[in-house]
Amino acid sequence: MFSLQLRMWLLLSLLFGLIYAVLVVLGHSLLGISNVTFYLFLSIAMMFIQYMIGPKIVEWTMHVRYIKRQENPQLYSMVENLSRRANIPMPRVGISQVPLPNAFAFGRGIRDGRVCVTEGILRLLDEEELKAVLAHEISHLKNRDVLTITLLSVIPMVMYRIAFQFLFYGRRRDERGGGNTALIGLAALIIYFISNLLVLYASRIREYFADKGSIDLGNKPASLASALYKLVYGSARANQESLKEVEGLKAFFVNDPSQSRKEIRELSQLDLDKSGTIDADELRMLNQKELKLSFGDRLLESMSTHPNMLKRIKQLSSYKVGY
């Protein structure tokens, strides 16, 4: 697990080193230091606005209704016990009134945490599977990775705005003797693309963090693996309208619903007894196999917010229960 943490910190350092280098270069060329400062503060301001109103947007989009203990004692107690075990403040517990089975955590910080489940997941998972998923979401809050992703997302945003400014308004600057601004704009666009891929990579890493966190909180790897399998199956059965409704928020989810129809074909081979679950024996057999992903699978994963599901469950098979 330390190697994953190390990669996350190295990625954070790499991305911020990249933005620092680009700003220094632009500051000594045509843009001028004042304009660099303007773009930087503009992006920071936009991220601050997103930080402030982001939770409300998630609530509206996902039709979240927060509950008290008496409304769903089992769900509330699960979140309460897991947050106590994780040593974090008790988050608000919500139910999202959408049929797509999933769960998500969000908030402005660890003291503003919210853990939500959809109505669909409550009908799909058994108690042990649901607890494993909730522990995954609690781990996102404990790891503070929502804030990390927000900070990282500033970088491609800055690059995109610099590229837009130079590529669309560069010709006018060139006519005034400003230099080859289009070339700088193209360079910024390339850096935007690269940095965005790195942010997606960071998003995938945080899913591994949360999976390991769920096991560390006392859940069986097979319980989380089985929950992921059921979530993929449930998402594959969902209608396209349900998938479109949550498209912009899929990075918050336990799995990527838009990839479910492809993933269900891969995961069905793990369910050897066709029980609709993945048990400890099936997980153990996966651990002994060597996965070989095609170039297409690797390319698709590099453009996704979530890891390849087969790789992810393979990683789960190597964990031991934490408590």
Active site residues: 137
3-state SS class at 234: helix
Judge whether 225 and 263 are in contact, CB under 8 Å: no
3-state SS class at 66: strand
Residues 193/195/201/202 CA torsion (nearest 10 deg): -150
For residue 278, give the DSSP letter: -
Q: Which helix (DSSP H) or strand (DSSP E) does residue 191 occupy? A: helix 181-216
Residue whose pair of structure tokens reads 């301001």 in the numeric block: 45
Q: What distance lies between CA 202 and its chain's CA centroid?
A: 8
Cα–Cα distance, 15 to 38 (Å, whole number): 20
Residue 178: count other Cβ atoms within 10 Å of its Cβ: 16
Residue 119: count other Cβ atoms within 10 Å of its Cβ: 16
The total number of residues shown for the chain amounts to 323
242's CB contacts (< 8 A; 6+ apart) are 98, 99, 100
Cα–Cα distance, 282 to 31 (Å, whole number): 59
Residue of 100, 124, 103, 119 whose CA lies nearest to 238? 100
Cα–Cα distance, 57 to 67 (Å, whole number): 18
